[in-house]
Amino acid sequence: MSSRRELFQNFRPHSATISIANGGKINATGIGEIFITVWDGKVDGTPIRLRDLLYVPGLGPNNLVSVRCIQQTGAMVLFAGFQENQVHITMNCEEIAVAKLQRNSYILSAKARPPGLTTTANTGQHSRTSGSLMEWQER
């Protein structure tokens, strides 16, 4: 989910109501895809395409991505293992990103690509019913 309409490609109107952690509800008004590049500390990042991402104007400054959405790009999300309070994301047996726990949210360092830039991103399809979420912050 993102409130930044300018990041979306293949955008189309879509209506959905999302229940949020404080018990409130916010509305999605569109759906599309966003290309992001994720990092694990290397110089070059790995581009991935997040599909069927919801446009939620009332979301605020944070972007949310489900674990399922990341898995559907072909990546694996590992919550256990190497270091405590970190999530490791691997693709083709290579680590492509690390999300770090900060105040009860895993923060994924990523940069969204504006529409119009070409990329060789991996494809994935987002499931709007997934419950595990991570925030991504602009790098």
Give the pLDDT confidence score for residue 116 in this predicted structure: 59
pLDDT at 15: 97
Residue 139 has what pLDDT?
45
User: What is d(CA 54, CA 47) in angstroms, rounded to the nearest whole number?
Assistant: 19
Average pLDDT along the chain, 139 residues, taken 10 residues at a time: 92 94 92 88 78 92 86 87 81 87 84 60 33 50
Domain of 12, in residue numbers: 5-138
Could you give the dihedral angle defined by the CA atoms of residues 82, 129, 112 and 30, in that order, rounded to the nearest 10 degrees? -170
pLDDT of residue 52: 92
- The torsion of the CA quartet 112, 116, 122, 124, rounded to 10 degrees, works out to 80
Determine the pLDDT at residue 53: 92
- The structure's pTM equals 0.75
Looking at the 3D structure of the chain, how many domains does it have? 1
Q: What is the pLDDT of residue 119?
A: 40
- Give the pLDDT of residue 41: 67
